[in-house]
Structure 1
């Protein structure tokens, strides 16, 4: 019996050893010199790695960009995996990062976009890369955050790009850093409707996202990456300009310093940021686009993917959109599933495998949802309901929820402290855990709350809810507020703030008036409210992640309408996650092994009996 078990174990080990693995991929490091700048007079050396297709021959190419503060090394593992799928892959450290020279220009058309266009020129000369025409390689671009934005910007400025997969990136960098989701009631229009495709938010009056902006600037000013270049200047004392701006271009440094002092956007800041914003050129993008955006992202929330999707689709370009469990604030990340979606997209538009057999189709709109826990491993099951068309943040239908609460007086404290907390940039998930919607803290005296009755049926919110408020105070003043929508289970558990997201708003009270009304758009989320739970709308005067007025002030906040409009998408559907395959496969395997052992044991007994004298 023991010998039989050992034999079966040997077979299993041998099978594992001889099971085919991915082809070996070898990277080739080199420096590629490019010329950029408004006058094309700046010479920059880009540190790159080229991964030829492991199977030999000619193959489509994929440019893989890194996130802000990263380098080509940040995406090496992903590059190897893409190459194993049969692509030629080129990674690079963007100007101002890693061992590359140059200064950070935030994916400007005059700088980073020109650099990537010359990387495409370089790929066109490689014998391993498939060409569509002379100097026109078959090429896609993928990347996350900073790398996602360069995919969008390059596709808008270079028609040779054949497909793109931007992840967790921005549409309007000015709106990302200076959001304002309030619209005066006289100009609000129909509640719940998305702005016109390609329209620009009013960042000129936005609320400064101070903590995220500080993280960005800190990563660019840090000279750790200077040491990576291995140049003599790495050991020299910093010049005054290096100490002030690090590897940023001087004009970016100047704009940041002014905004950080005042907490208000300047026309120069908005103009500079919009030059690096895909929303300004999205109509020029003709490469089929798969937008992958994180549900846990207070930096570039779902509304940015929505704006990109609508603007690109308005030009007739194929677009699909995915909301996954990840983002700049954590979450699972779903690395394998996200890779599969990207792989299917490139297989369709770079390899032409569009029949659904060799390249599974990517749905027009997919959302990651919690499917409970696997009964065996106790690991989270993630479902991916999908629908054939993207509904926008207004959903395919709406439900109204009645809110109640009196007019409430709230105060902005001197200096804006202590501040309420919605999320901590970059680590927002720590407040509530990886799989928790998140827990927030609202400071007493600074917040007004309006709450629904307990729900009598489940409510699946998918998109951005809207409400209409009135702010009363001294004429000629402006109230800075932060709106949140909580899920309240009971009086024992703390209320949950989905993804820790908050909507900053500014409401101006005209001279001679005592109040102003506005429609507010709450953060886009996909969240299930259970029966018996309540919805709570909270407006606070402070939030730790944002710059708030230092002058003390008091306002009265009330509802113009008691109705909260909640978008739903009834067409989202997914097969049940069911029971993990191994739950039934392991017992079956056990039966087979037991039967084999039983047969072997009986055969041995017969041989022993036959040999006895």
Structure 2
């Protein structure tokens, strides 16, 4: 198989864009058997459904139904419902559909609202209309004759009478047209599973992959002052690389470089106008307004987590600067605290890098050779077929320092909860050192100045609006950094580091958000010869509304080994290559001391 570039593959995961040639699905009334490669074991046909958009206008949803050979009304099978990532279509789902049909599942793959031939505006996976639209497809899987042969909805299609039925749904009630059905999909096709489950108790299980908990955190995170999960009351720092690129592609590059010229916009894509206005405002001012935060949260499981009651397998990439591991953790904690059967896998890859081929391959899923694909299939077999196959460990994480050839299962470690590390605390010492327990801290104050707009290095990276974040880099005088001693043995960190510091600056307390101090924190691995790499290129922005009080910053979770001879570095900077910073240039002072700490969750001995 021809290997894709890392950049193209990450874009494919992020947007659901098919890479390679996808043949057209057959349309028509009858389920005509066709052959896909060497597996002529199923039939496929295109169906159309009525839906209603966010504005109340009707639209068409297009889907393909795959039925395995030998499955009929006398020999029924469970079903899989799946939809595309952002910018994709039902055609992207052909490899996954074929894989499940080979295992005897009926698959209904559809283009989400606003994508791939389906109508309505893009509404960011809200329960209504996105979840409600999915419920219409669940009706069809349950035997309701609500599908059409044409997009104009003039030719009614025959009912589908081949899917197993349930007598009682997950709300304890009997519902008409109740199929045995689970959902799969990633990114945008992951969040819609929550939206669908919130609207329809007939769905039996979901497996959201690489998706968000709170979209306002995803696009403009604030890693301090978090109230529930990753959500905050104080707005965060917009991600110039993701926010602008996803909406305006290269058009927004001028905004990120200070060339604020609204005439460069080519028009709002197929979104609610509020979203385009919001992204423009965020990139230019550095602040996401409360009404926009509310709009983003409406399409986020964080706002309706109590409505998710079915078994959930969360899969999140460890190389993901769009939806980092903290998002999955927030959802995991929220569901498990409510007694929902929830498992979580931190897998290789993500929106910022390819998964390992022995983990998961989007366009060629194979449970025989790919650990994550195997876990998804086992989960579905367990919850839809009722097999005795184990659904897998409660929590699994990929260790990229374990070298494997092929299947990645030996590189995974397991636990009963996501809290696996023991706290190792470093204290800020002098102006550039991290002291461990038992080592006396030395006095000192690190000082730097935040650049206006928080753009110290963006001009050095003309491609910084690319969909994969560019490496973080600091300009002298705009950041402070503290190093540990060289490690005498490997240090394995699994989870979210936490930084507790008091900073001082000249900005008064409770200034308007756009005038407040914004800092960017990173965990960096420095090798024996001094090469420094931000772990996962992950950044924790912190908008500090009250500099008179200490702040605690919850860093993005990582799974990383610091090798023997390496040093762990904490960087606190006034700007970022991938985020919009504060408007003003401000002096910052950070003193050393026992109360100024960075704590990392460590596996094994430190």
TM-score, structure 1 as length reference: 0.75
CA displacement 1:428-480 (0-9 Å, x = unmatched): 48x7xxxxxxx642221111011111223332111011122222221416321
What corresponds to 2:418 in structure 1?
A: 391
Find 1:504's aligned residue among 541, 554, 561: 541
Alignment pair present for 1:370 and 2:412? no
Q: What's the offset of the Cα at 1:45?
A: 0.4
Q: 2:107 maps to which residue? A: 89
Give the secondary structure class of the aligned counterpart of 2:571: strand
How does 1:226-237 map onto structure 2 within 5 Å? none
Aligned counterpart, 1:158: 200
Q: SS in structure 2 opposite 1:215?
A: helix
- Are 1:253 and 2:286 an aligned pair? no
Distance 1:29 1:518 in 2: 55
Q: Could you tell me how far apart the structure 2 residues matched to 1:202 and 1:166 are?
A: 23
* Matching residue of 2:41: 24
Could you say if the C-alpha distance between residues 317 and 384 of structure 1 is closer, same or farther in structure 2, counting changes exceeding 3 Å?
farther
Q: 1:372 to 1:26 in 2, by over 3 A?
A: same
Task: Give the structure 1 partner of residue 6 of structure 2.
Answer: none
Q: Which runs of 5+ in 2 are unaligned?
A: 1-36, 144-159, 168-175, 253-262, 361-369, 432-444
Contact 1:175 1:201 in 2 (8 A): yes
Q: Which residue of 2 aligns with 1:447?
A: 479
Write the distance in 2 (CA, Å) between the matches of 1:371 and 1:316.
34
Q: In the superposition, relative to structure 1, how do residues 547 and 61 fare at CA in structure 2: closer, same or farther (>3 Å)?
A: same
- Alpha-carbon distance between aligned partners in 1 of 2:596 and 2:454, rounded to the nearest angstrom: 29
Structure with higher helix content: 1
> Residue 217 in 1 paired to residue 247 in 2?
yes
Contact conserved, 1:27 with 1:49, CA < 8 A, in 2?
yes
Distance 1:415 1:475, change over 3 A: closer
Q: 1:483 and 1:143, CA in 2 relative to 1: closer, same or farther beyond 3 A? A: same
Kindly indicate whether the alpha-carbon contact (under 8 Å) linking 1:203 and 1:265 is maintained by their aligned counterparts in 2. no
1:59 Cα deviation after fit: 0.8
Report the equivalent of 1:494.
Answer: 531
Q: Distance in 2 between matches of 1:158 and 1:419?
A: 47
Alignment partner of 1:52 out of 58, 67, 73: 67
Give the corresponding residue for 1:145: 187
> 2:506–2:586: 8 Å Cα contact kept in structure 1?
no
Q: How many Å separate the matches in 1 of 2:251 and 2:564?
A: 49
- Counterparts of 2:394 and 2:578, CA distance in 1: 33
The alignment's C-alpha RMSD in Å is 2.9
**Distance of aligned partners of 1:205 and 1:47 in 2 relative to their CA distance in 1, 3 Å threshold:** same
- 2:569 is matched with 536
Question: By how many angstroms is 1:502 displaced?
Answer: 0.9
Q: Report the structure number with the largest CA radius of gyration.
A: 1
Shift of 1:160: 0.7
Q: Give the superposition deviation at 1:383.
A: 3.3
Aligned to 1:416: 454
Q: Secondary structure at the match of 1:350?
A: helix
In structure 2, the partner of 1:577 is none
Corresponding residue of 2:156? none
Give the total of aligned pairs. Answer: 498
2:11 paired residue number: none
Closer, same or farther in 2 for the Cα pair 1:349/1:547, shift >3 Å?
Answer: same
| In 1, Cα distance between equivalents of 2:47 and 2:558 | 43
Partner of 2:503, secondary structure, is strand
Structure 1 stretches lacking a partner, 5+ long: 1-19, 184-194, 223-239, 432-438, 572-613
Counterpart contact for 2:492–2:561, Cα < 8 Å: yes
Give distance in 2, aligned partners of 1:218 and 1:527: 34
Task: Supply the distance in 1 between the matched residues of 2:80 and 2:457 (Cα, whole angstroms).
Answer: 45
Question: Can you list the C-alpha shifts for 1:82-110, whole angstroms capped at 9, x where unaligned?
Answer: 11111110111111111111110111222
Take 1:552 and 1:517, find their aligned partners in 2: how far apart are those partners? Answer: 21
For residues 31-180 of structure 1, the aligned pairs below 5 Å read 31-37=48-54, 41-56=56-71, 57-125=75-143, 126-133=160-167, 134-180=176-222
Alignment correspondent of 1:352: 386
Would the alpha carbon gap of residues 529 and 25 (structure 1) be closer, same or farther in structure 2, given more than 3 Å must change?
same
> Normalising by structure 2, what TM-score?
0.76
